[in-house]
Amino acid sequence: MENGLDFSRFGFVVSLKVSKKATLRNKARRRLSEAIKSQEKNIKPGIDAVIIALPGIEKKEFSEIKKAVTDMLTKTKLNV
């Protein structure tokens, strides 16, 4: 969704279905956040987006998460 700002904002949803342990949910959230930060210069400004983590993300390596985020940004045409 467009936000009318000069920068993009992202929200992350990691539900109890991913893990019952808060530490694992927070780790997944931090990894998603870092993957977005690494792509920050390539993301169109003025976008608000919510990323919903699916079960299984807690078992993925960071490189896999980063690749998935990059692919998602390309599919949704949020890359510049």
22-38 helix and 62-75 helix, angle to the nearest 10 degrees: 60
Which portions of the chain are predicted below pLDDT 70? none
pLDDT for 4:
85
Measured distance CA(60)–CA(67) in Å, rounded = 11
Give the per-residue pLDDT at 33: 94
Nearest C-alpha neighbor of 1 from the set 33, 52, 47: 47
pTM: 0.86
Beta bridge partners of 32: none
- Answer left, alpha or beta for residue 18, where phi above 0 means left and psi between -120 and 50 means alpha: alpha
Query: Distance (Å, rounded) from C-alpha 34 to C-alpha 29?
Result: 9
Instruction: State residue 6's pLDDT score.
Output: 87
Q: Which domain holds residue 52?
A: 9-75
Q: Is residue 38 part of a domain?
A: yes
Q: Is residue 4 part of a domain?
A: no
Please give the tally of structural domains in the chain. Answer: 1
